Structure 1
Amino acid sequence: MKKLLLVLSVLLLTSCLGMPDKVKPVNNFELNKYLGKWYEIARLDHSFERGLSNVSASYSLNKDGSVKVLNKGFLSASNEWQEAEGKAYFVDSTDEGYLKVSFFGPFYGSYVVFELDHEGYQYAFVSGPNNDYLWLLARTSKVPPAIVDKFISMSQSRGFNTNEVIWVEHDQ
């Protein structure tokens, strides 16, 4: 757990607010619909998530209006669950899918929702500050092939290396 928090902290120290050139946050974003549990379906590899399966992110409101972020994943190498808790705030407008997230002090990284199922909030495509950070999140641990195809297509067109995408195992 300490290693995960340390790595997340280092990541955020070297991260910045911003987004890849071809990425634009969604408009008409509704936080209340976004809150709750999301399963990580796919991601680009990073040391802070390396080896994790059964990864999920839960979002809830804090009393101060910020968003509580609780990331959880299972590390089979040590047979244990790992968690990281952070806070998120909107960068610009509250109806734009562009937030800043911190897992350590005053250091923030970008969280950019660039595609979203606006009707049911069942899937989201998320970027970080550059093309090294990419996630496909969903409300269920499996998504239809059409969503996977859309994720790959939209991500490639925005400059992400989709050949490096890791498909997250969910067996617990």
Structure 2
Amino acid sequence: MEKFLTNIKYSTSDTKVLLVLLLTAAAANAQSFHAGGCPKPPVQEDFNITKYMGTWYEIEKLPAWFERGRCNQATYELQEDETVGVLNAEILPNGNINSIKGVAKVKNVTQPAILGVSFFIGAADAPYWVLATDYQSYALVYSCSHYLGLFHVDYAWILARTRALPEAVVCQLHDKLKNAGVDIKNLTASNQTSCDERK
């Protein structure tokens, strides 16, 4: 969609109308929407993708329209072709399990913490940047897409190997996002309660 939008020629009035429509849609979906280009936070140095594999539980996030439930988790598995199989799952308000499979790829072997992930054939990869992780307890992930050079929509996830994370660690990860120029005022705690009722 981003490439499609950048190839269209808009008049000034068309651009203003489009911007208002996108702002309205972003607000309706409680997205983290900002003027200007994406921040470029530093990513995890010497990232080891093998150690990162396994299941991570969502502790906090910036709003994401595609997440509607609780007990959100992501499981990553290294494939033979060196891509990463992704399985995201959540429990919907009606008690049903919602899951989706995708594929993540390292974009540049010299920067293994910068991946692109796709959940639909033919869809452009979404950015998936691992900003920090100790592999055993926490991970901080950031994603940002910019449109028309006018605004960007970003996502951030604080993840853990368990369904809870010490507040001190969460605060450190907040600071890391803030220092990278990411607006964290819309970060919300994820609901990881009663998750064993459905598997």
Corresponding pairs, count = 153
Residue 112 (structure 2) pairs with residue 96 (structure 1): yes
Question: Residues 30 and 95 of structure 1 are in contact (CA less than 8 Å); yes or no, is this contact kept in structure 2?
Answer: no
RMSD across aligned C-alpha pairs, in angstroms? 2.0
Q: Give the secondary-structure state (helix, strand or coil) at the position aligned to 2:144.
A: coil
Cα distance change on mapping 1:14 and 1:56 into 2, 3 Å:
farther
Aligned to 1:116: 133
The answer to whether the Cα contact below 8 Å between 2:63 and 2:188 also exists between their aligned partners in 1 is yes
Shift of 1:152: 1.3
Judging changes above 3 Å, is the alpha-carbon distance between structure 1 residues 48 and 122 closer, same or farther for their aligned structure 2 residues? Answer: same
The answer for the alignment partner of 1:30 in structure 2 is 48
- The aligned counterpart of 1:72 is 89
Q: Is the Cα contact below 8 Å between 1:87 and 1:101 reproduced in 2?
A: yes
1:94: Cα distance to partner? 6.2
In 1, are the aligned partners of 2:79 and 2:85 still within 8 Å (CA)?
yes
1:155 aligns with 2:177: yes
CA distance in 2, matches of 1:60, 1:104: 18
Asked whether 1:55 is paired with 2:72, we answer: yes
Match of 2:98 in 1: 82
Amino acid at match of 1:27: E
CA distance in 1 between counterparts of 2:82 and 2:181 reads 34
Distance 1:160 1:95 in 2: 21
Deviation at residue 138 of structure 1 after TM alignment: 0.8
Report the Cα distance in structure 1 between the residues aligned to 2:118 and 2:178, rounded to whole angstroms.
Answer: 27
Query: Is 1:39–1:55's contact at 8 Å kept on the other side of the alignment?
Result: yes
Q: Deviations over 1:84-118 (max 9, x none)?
A: 1100110112663111101012310110011112x
CA–CA distance in structure 1, aligned partners of residues 96 and 2 of structure 2: 28
1:44 paired residue number: 62
Q: What is the identity, as a one-letter code, of the residue corresponding to 2:175?
A: S
Find the partner of 2:189 among 161, 167, 170: 167
Paired residues of 2:49 and 2:112 also in contact (CA < 8 A): no
CA deviation after TM superposition for structure 1 residue 146, in Å:
1.2
Instruction: Identify if the C-alpha distance between structure 1 residues 20 and 122 changes in structure 2 by more than 3 Å, giving closer, same or farther.
Output: farther
Distance 1:14 1:49, change over 3 A: farther
Larger Rg: 2
- List alignment gaps of at least 5 residues for structure 2: 4-36, 146-152
Q: Which amino acid aligns with 1:97?
A: A
TM-score normalised by structure 2 residue count: 0.71
Shift of 1:44: 0.7
After TM superposition, give the deviation of residue 14 of structure 1 in Å: 4.5
Name the residue aligned to 2:161: 139
